[in-house]
Amino acid sequence: MSSLPTLPTEMNRGSFVAAPAWSDANPAPTLLQRLAVQVERWSRWEFWPAWLVYALLIPRFVRLALRHRSATVFAAANPGMPLGGFVGESKLDILRALPQEWIIPTDVIEPGTASERAAALDRVLRSRGWNLPVVCKPDVGERGTDVRLIRTTSEAAAYLLRVPGRVLVQPYHPGPFEAGVFYVRVPGEPCGRIFSITDKRQPRVTGDGRSSLGTLVWNDRRLRLQSGALLEQLGPDADRVPAEGERVLLSIAGNHCRGTMFLDGGALRTDALERRFDEIAKAYNGFYFGRFDVRYSDEQAFARGEGFQIVELNGVLSESTNIYDPSWSLWRGLRTLAEQWSLAFEIGAANARTGARVPTMRQLLDAARRHQGRTS
């Protein structure tokens, strides 16, 4: 028996999240256990803050900037995206630029009053013939922030009140498989290639009929390392005691920082899959470098380049997220990131030579500040 969680809808992102109601049957983690978790997180580089990992690449960035005589030419890698997909791009605009038969159906709720937005969501569901649950996410966002599974009209109303900007609505794709397919093509070359594939494993627990979801998270040696993000997403549902044998999905956001485990999916690459993504990528005018996040139900169909749906496409700031495979060393991950960024500069420079606009550093910084203001 499986179940989907009741994800939080009432809490503001970044606000204090109350701990689960620990009891004698579900004791709270001790201070020693919490400290042990923090020590283990720092011993595993996949959990390090992004700024620390990228700080180790500063010498590579300096060399690339000197070689290409520009520190920002990488942002010309995708002339068909604002600033190459650096930050703040519209997910809806990007999805609309892709062949529609390959994307997950997507609609939009524009800003407005609470009643206007609730009515707009109702119109979307009726006109599309969709039933709840649906997935709602900000049109401009990152790292799974405010991605929620909406199962009831009351959850929808609370979500739309809390996220006042433009919101995308997509039918929930049950998967159970999800992958990040990183694609690159050097301008002038006839075909692109899959740089990497990330096999994403969303966090789940199995109920024992006695323990709450919060306790089950803490009893799992890996999930306890991401308990902060998982308990925030579960909200009050962290107190729920699932039935014995019940499989509970803890998060639908396919992001490492939201609890999803990333594995190197190189074994998933096939010639047929690579040809399919090359075909899709070429249909997007001005796209050469980025990561497709996709969901699919049949592994054999996926290997044939069939039966998947694109949830979103990320541009030049995409990561080759297979680096966060727990079995990878830091140095292997850094080598992959260095190769990825070398390609970004190379592709951007090739586009610049044919007339693509290279943004200034001030333009990139201003865009980052505006984006931070929207998401903070």
Burial class (CB in 10 A: 0-12, 13-18, 19+), 289: buried
Residue 118 resides in a domain? no
pLDDT for 107-142, tens place per residue? 999 999 888 988 999 999 999 999 999 999 999 876
Q: Specify the pTM.
A: 0.87
User: Is 185 domain-assigned?
Assistant: yes
Query: In this structure, is residue 238 part of a structural domain?
Result: no
The number of folded domains in the chain is: 1
373 part of a folded domain = yes
Is 346 a member of any domain?
yes
Q: Is 26 within the bounds of a domain?
A: no
Higher model confidence: residue 251 or residue 8?
A: 251
Domain containing 355 equals: 44-102+177-200+259-376
**Is residue 186's pLDDT more than 80?**
yes
pLDDT at residue 373 greater than cutoff 70: no
What pLDDT shows up at residue 168? 95
**Is 119 part of any domain?**
no
pLDDT in tens, 54-78: 999 999 999 999 999 999 999 999 9
pLDDT score, position 185: 97
Assess if residue 78 is contained within a domain: yes
Average pLDDT of the residues of the chain:
88
Locate 8 and state its tokens.
Answer: 């939080």
Residues facing residue 327 across a β-bridge: none
Q: What per-residue confidence (pLDDT) applies to 53?
A: 95
Q: In terms of pLDDT, which residue wins out, 220 or 20?
A: 220
